[in-house]
Structure 1
């Protein structure tokens, strides 16, 4: 497999990650994918340097599969984690809140030793 590709790949051959996506979050992702009108997109979750505490989460739609990616499917939604982020996200749970006080995806990560006051970064 090349470094990146948009061709059809059998994701069953890729390793799985253990990030959990709640039913509510999976439904929201499916809804957003429907709005995009594309069937080639997956939800990519990554950890990157940044923020007040050193690391930040990135959630975005991606058509690529990269070498070393781990994939898991939730109700028709493919969730991809790159190989460098897998250890940082092991056992993490992603949910979606839609209340008057907050709307958006939330990440409960047992690997985060602490976070900043804004809640956008962790270490």
Structure 2
């Protein structure tokens, strides 16, 4: 996971109810992240999860390893995986679940986010 992995979403509203601490990582995703961290061979990296404007319909997720600490970061330990979320992304990730899929049809991280609605033909975007 040296390059940022992105998925595009459109968020219904700017959520305020669920904090980033309600973000979850499935066992499969945690296992994959731990494996990738082991490959990197560094103990200062954490999985950074961010939401940024872009993509074909609104917002996109970015997942990447990061050693930085930014002002206002929310630091989590999910299934033994160090995860960090910036303060601007945190409200959008409340209640979201990160999973890892490894099938013939698809391989990669997916994010199930209750703040996103509808699906587009590309499979990576969500429409309102």
How many residue pairs get matched? 109
1:76 and 2:88 correspond: no
**SS across alignment from 1:29:** helix
TM-score (norm 1): 0.81
**1:49: which partner in 2?**
53
Structure 1 residue 114, shift from structure 2 partner: 3.2
TM-score (norm 2): 0.78
Contact 1:17-1:90 within 8 A present in 2 as well: yes
Contact 2:20-2:95 within 8 A present in 1 as well: no
CA-based RMSD of the aligned residues comes to 1.6
Structure 1 stretches of 4+ with a deviation exceeding 6 A read none
Q: Which has the higher contact order (CA 8 A, sep 6+)?
A: 2
Gaps of 5+ in 1: 1-14
